[in-house]
Amino acid sequence: LPDVWSPKLLAGKTVLLTAGAGYEAIDPVRGITNISSGQMGAALARACRRAGAAVRLVYGKMSVPLPAGLARAQQALSAREMLDAVMENLDGADVFVAVAAVADYRIANASAQKIKKSDAAPVLALAENPDILQTVAALPNAPFCVGFAAESENLLVHARAKRVKKNVPLLVANQVSDAMGKATNRIVLLDAFTETALPEMGKDDAADTIVRRIADLLPQTAL
């Protein structure tokens, strides 16, 4: 894929990514997570690196090794921890890519001690988590923001609405069954003007395609 490496499409740029599955503790040994493997986020981090960017990764639960050559890497399991880590690593970032499958809700009544089995089943109360992507995209000096949409039905309808609601210039939409936990993906790229449906491909190839689109859309810095 020579057109990604020469010229290096993201040379001189800094990219911050989130990746992996969120984890919200119920008690010290249990929690709520999801089936994200971190493969797409790791592939995108590698693709950004190959394209010449300095890459910072904030990651939750990863079922694959961290990519090599990261400028910074920080684990953050819960949505609130991930938001804090993202804010701490935003300085100088030109691009923010939210790949992580963040939990929309946390446990409001999490227990500091292991919950003991008892006659009455425990009741978990949920509280809404902050939306990291939407928060970053709303900042006054927001980097170029890229979101993902994982849908199990009505992919394009939900993805279009998500891109507008979060106010991001580029959204990568995928069907949960095509993407999560798999080595391949079938993505649709949505920006304000075009929707590009791509065939199923390996996640490294999907990541290169996304990087090319980011480089095309990224506001050019004055020379």
Which residue, 163, 204, 221, is CA-closest to 47?
204
144 binds, among ligand CTP, Ca ion, none (CB under 5 to 8 A by kind): none
- Is-catalytic flag, 34? yes
Helices (H) and strands (E) in the chain, counts: 7, 14
Q: How many CB atoms lie within 10 A of CB 70?
A: 18
Stretch that binds ligand CTP, among 2-10, 38-46, 55-63, 130-138 (CB under 6 A): 130-138
The least CB distance from residue 121 to ligand CTP, in Å, is 26
Q: Which is nearer to ligand CTP, 13 or 166 (CB)?
A: 166
State in Å, rounded, how far the first CA of the chain is from the last one. Answer: 27
Span 90-119, contacts to ligand CTP by CB under 6 A:
98, 100, 102, 104
Tell which one of 10, 48, 110, 150 touches ligand CTP (CB under 6 A): 150
Tell which one of 40, 76, 79, 155 touches ligand CTP (CB under 6 A): 79
Per the annotation, binding residues for CTP are 104, 114, 130-133, 148, 162, 166
Which residue, 90, 71, 87, is CA-closest to 79?
87
Tell which one of 11, 69, 88, 104 touches Ca ion (CB under 5 A): 104
Residue 104 DSSP SS3 = coil
159-198 mask for ligand CTP (x: CB under 6 A)?
A: ---x------------------------------------
Tokens of 180: 């999560």
Amino acid code (one letter) for 20? G
For strands 187-190 and 170-175, give the pairing.
antiparallel
Taking the C-alpha atoms of residue 49 and residue 31, their distance in angstroms, rounded to an integer, is 33
Residue 133 as a binder of ligand CTP (CB under 6 A): the answer is yes
Catalytic residue among 34, 129, 174, 185: 34
Q: Do the Cβ atoms of 208 and 1 come closer than 8 Å?
A: yes
Residues that bind ligand CTP (CB under 6 A): 18, 79, 98, 100, 102, 104, 129, 131-133, 147-150, 162
